[in-house]
Amino acid sequence: MCGIVGAIADRDVVPVLIDGLKRLEYRGYDSAGIALVDGSDVRRVRRTGRVSEMEAAAQAEGVRASLGIGHTRWATHGGVTEANAHPHISHGVALVHNGIIENHEQQRERLQQLGYAFESQTDTEVIAHLIHHYLKGGQDLLGALQCTVKELHGAYALAVISRKEPGRMVVARMGCPLLIGLGEGENFVASDVSAIVQYTRRVIFLEEGDTAEISREGVRVFGADDAPVQREEHLSDVSLASLELGPYRHFMQKEIHEQPRAIADTLEAIIDASAFEPALFGKDTDEVLAGVEGVQILACGTSFYAGSVARYWIEAISGLPCSVEIASEYRYRKAVANPKQLIVTISQSGETLDTMEALKYARSLGHDKTLSICNVPESAIPRASRLVFYTRAGAEIGVASTKAFTTQLVGLFALAATLAKLHGRLDADKEGEYIEALRHLPGSIQHALNLEPQIALWAERFAPRDHALFLGRGVHYPIALEGALKLKEISYIHAEAYPAGELKHGPLALVDAAMPVVVIAPNDSLLEKVKSNMQEVRARGGELFVFTDADSNFNESEGVHVIRTPRHVGVLSPIVHTIPVQLLAYHTALSRGTDVDKPRNLAKAVTVE
Ligand code: M6R
């Protein structure tokens, strides 16, 4: 969703801000803007639409400066208009804001009584006026920001500049990520490291309640009590190559093809140790995992489907009961807490608000055993969890999650096996068998990717359709759900997924010649059941598109199309069967000409409710 970048340097920072905003585009936004301290003035350029439109306007105006801030806005309070786009300005103070200010209406009324006029419908504008109010009262910029944030309820990452203080920028963080990039004689701020990684990899992650002052020469950070604090410097491992398209047409295509490498990287520690060691999940493992009696998984979207696969694995392999719940549902229900349950949150971004709030809610209920599976180091959700498994998928730019999902599955499989080992349910032979299967996984994924030309041909038949049905059973049912989500989110074809056994309890009524039915049907113990369900579809004139594996002995026949992955990979089969449904969605969207990487109405990191 919204993105922040800021810079203070000896050079012109306008290209730095525009490049940074372009790298934040993947998060989803509908307007963009920059503000610059230019001499004793603040200049601002804002546009609805793409960053490139704002860039053209900035070039036309010929703006240049050595201090500036930029923003991509995803509208929440107030429509998509230039007046609502950030930065917002109050008497020479300009700021950009990620997050939501919950008490903005009370603050607006108060500021109006103090004589402030409002130009936008946003919650953000109150912050600019409040800072000005405190500046007028005699505070300097940092002091004014520190006074202001104490009056805000809600979540914010803020970057602020003032025409009266051309030598510094001040920033604050609560509930939304914000980091400082350390350069040589120049410094940066960003909500996401990708915005500044081409200038520096040295970063400081601000903590909740921190404020900071950033000049060319250095950075000073203050804790929630305004006292100076030291925050550790990190070296980001986000690579520039992961942010570039290279030879691919879309980031989604690139990220689908990166899966063999992403999975190999994620597996590295397991393969090196040739064992499922509790240490895979962090330092406190012995204490947190000791006495675990069950697992509660919380997540949203694709991450929820990864959790849904994990439920089958955890119960079957470790024997522990496991529930999976959509984070936005869990956080608002009166859940019965069992402190011996392990709470597992799954999130690619580590920023998803509902997942974060579900974790906080679980903790408020007395859950102390928390583990996060996440792809973004130092993001909010892993920081709030006692144990962490970082997937090593690299930056995922396409809104449709692909390599994050399959690497999450790898982490979750390792969790199932580790819990089994700790509970005495994994003997050395079985452990060796699982490790061997994981060792071969990147190769099996590559074989599945080689099916792309056949899947692209199927996609041409899907492109003109309005609806599609996905079926699976057992551990492959969540893969059907994931396939339907991928298809709907990027091709805009209405797609639903059902456990194949449910067909005759309702959805069979939808089946006719116009409804393609995708079936995930590997050679497992449920295959014969799935075959019966497929007969039910054929008998109603439905056309079947079956993804199966070489061992399953499926033959094509009239109305039954079959694509086979080269071999059955046993317990890891859901991971391999994810690849064909990703490719089907991608090529269908391509045929329909949709904006594959930035589908309408969606954002990469969902940081609002
Ligand atoms: O970053 P997260 O994994 O927490 O994101 C959760 C969902 O928003 C995300 O998986 C979403 O469903 C994707 N667009 C699906 O492709």
> What does the block give as tokens for 590?
């391509």
The neighbouring-strand residues paired with 533 are none
62: left (phi over 0), alpha (psi -120 to 50) or beta: left
- Expressed in angstroms and rounded, the spacing between residue 381 Cα and the centre of ligand 1 is 14
Residue nearest to atom 16 of ligand 1 (CA): 400
Number of the ligand 1 atom closest to the C-alpha atom of 604: 14
Asked whether residue 588 falls in the same domain as residue 497, the answer is yes
Distance, CA of 103 to CA of 396 (rounded, Å): 34
Distance, CA of 207 to CA of 234 (rounded, Å): 14
Q: Which of 22, 486, 488, 604 is catalytic?
A: 604
Is the CB of 400 inside a 6 Å radius of any atom of ligand 1?
yes
In a domain, 185, yes or no: yes
Kindly state the helix (H) or strand (E) to which residue 324 belongs, with its residue range: strand 322-326
- Expressed in angstroms and rounded, the spacing between residue 322 Cα and the centre of ligand 1 is 21
Answer with the residue of higher pLDDT: 188 or 351.
188
- Expressed in angstroms and rounded, the spacing between residue 368 Cα and the centre of ligand 1 is 25
Closest CA to 104 of 92, 116, 87: 116
Q: Are 288 and 387 in contact (CB under 8 A)?
A: yes
In a domain, 48, yes or no: yes
- Expressed in angstroms and rounded, the spacing between residue 303 Cα and the centre of ligand 1 is 6
Domain total for the chain?
3
pLDDT of residue 421: 95
In a domain, 55, yes or no: yes
Question: Which residue of 344, 352, 391, 397 sits with most ligand 1 atoms within 8 Å of its CB, as the best mutation to test the pocket?
Answer: 352
* Bridging pattern class, strands 516-520 and 467-472: parallel
pLDDT of residue 152: 95
Q: Is 2 a catalytic residue?
A: yes
pLDDT per residue over 135-174, tens digit each? Answer: 999 999 999 999 999 999 998 999 999 999 999 999 999 9
pLDDT of residue 40: 82
Distance, CA of 166 to CA of 60 (rounded, Å): 24
Residue nearest to atom 8 of ligand 1 (CA): 301
The neighbouring-strand residues paired with 180 are 189, 204
In a domain, 63, yes or no: yes
Among residues 449, 471, 500, the one where a domain terminates is: 449
Closest CA to 162 of 209, 220, 213: 213
Is the CB of 379 inside a 6 Å radius of any atom of ligand 1?
no
Q: What is the DSSP letter of 28?
A: -
Among residues 421, 449, 477, the one where a domain terminates is: 449
Asked whether residue 505 falls in the same domain as residue 431, the answer is no
Phi/psi for 171 (5° steps) reads: -140, 160
Asked whether residue 235 falls in the same domain as residue 258, the answer is no
User: Helix, strand, or coil here: 489?
Assistant: helix
pLDDT of residue 237: 82
Among residues 199, 225, 243, the one where a domain terminates is: 243
pLDDT per residue over 208-229, tens digit each? Answer: 999 999 999 999 999 999 999 9
Domain of 532? Answer: 452-592
Q: CB-based burial of residue 109 (10 Å sphere; 0-12 exposed, 13-18 middle, 19+ buried)?
A: exposed
Helices then strands, counting H and E runs in the chain, come out as: 18, 25
In a domain, 602, yes or no: no
- Expressed in angstroms and rounded, the spacing between residue 149 Cα and the centre of ligand 1 is 30
Is the CB of 301 inside a 6 Å radius of any atom of ligand 1?
yes
* Bridging pattern class, strands 543-549 and 516-520: parallel
pLDDT of residue 472: 96
pLDDT per residue over 553-590, tens digit each? Answer: 778 889 999 999 878 889 999 999 999 999 999 999 99
Residues 6+ apart with CB under 8 A from 225: none
- 283: pLDDT strictly greater than 90: no
Asked whether residue 57 falls in the same domain as residue 200, the answer is yes
Phi/psi for 449 (5° steps) reads: -65, -30
- Expressed in angstroms and rounded, the spacing between residue 605 Cα and the centre of ligand 1 is 7
Is the CB of 303 inside a 6 Å radius of any atom of ligand 1?
yes
Asked whether residue 18 falls in the same domain as residue 138, the answer is yes
HSE-up of residue 457 (Cα within 13 Å, Cβ side): 7
> What does the block give as tokens for 77?
């309070």
Distance, CA of 561 to CA of 554 (rounded, Å): 10
pLDDT of residue 11: 96
Is the CB of 355 inside a 6 Å radius of any atom of ligand 1?
yes
Is the CB of 388 inside a 6 Å radius of any atom of ligand 1?
no
pLDDT of residue 27: 85
- Expressed in angstroms and rounded, the spacing between residue 217 Cα and the centre of ligand 1 is 39
Residue nearest to atom 9 of ligand 1 (CA): 301
- 240: pLDDT strictly greater than 90: no
Asked whether residue 443 falls in the same domain as residue 457, the answer is no
Answer with the residue of higher pLDDT: 411 or 504.
411
CATH code at 538? Answer: 3.40.50.10490
- Range 28-42 average pLDDT: 91
The neighbouring-strand residues paired with 346 are 299, 373
Asked whether residue 274 falls in the same domain as residue 239, the answer is no
Residue nearest to atom 12 of ligand 1 (CA): 301
Number of the ligand 1 atom closest to the C-alpha atom of 404: 3
Distance, CA of 483 to CA of 489 (rounded, Å): 10
CATH code at 138? Answer: 3.60.20.10
Asked whether residue 436 falls in the same domain as residue 491, the answer is no
In a domain, 575, yes or no: yes
pLDDT per residue over 375-431, tens digit each? Answer: 998 788 998 999 999 999 999 999 999 999 999 999 999 999 999 999 999 999 999
- Expressed in angstroms and rounded, the spacing between residue 604 Cα and the centre of ligand 1 is 7
Question: Which residue of 256, 297, 300 sits with most ligand 1 atoms within 8 Å of its CB, as the best mutation to test the pocket?
Answer: 300
Is the CB of 606 inside a 6 Å radius of any atom of ligand 1?
yes
Is the CB of 385 inside a 6 Å radius of any atom of ligand 1?
no
pLDDT of residue 603: 85
Is the CB of 158 inside a 6 Å radius of any atom of ligand 1?
no
Asked whether residue 83 falls in the same domain as residue 224, the answer is yes
Asked whether residue 439 falls in the same domain as residue 415, the answer is yes
pLDDT per residue over 87-123, tens digit each? Answer: 999 999 999 999 989 999 999 999 999 999 999 999 9
Distance, CA of 598 to CA of 252 (rounded, Å): 10
Asked whether residue 509 falls in the same domain as residue 579, the answer is yes
Asked whether residue 132 falls in the same domain as residue 277, the answer is no
Query: How many residues are there in the chain?
Result: 609
Is the CB of 352 inside a 6 Å radius of any atom of ligand 1?
yes
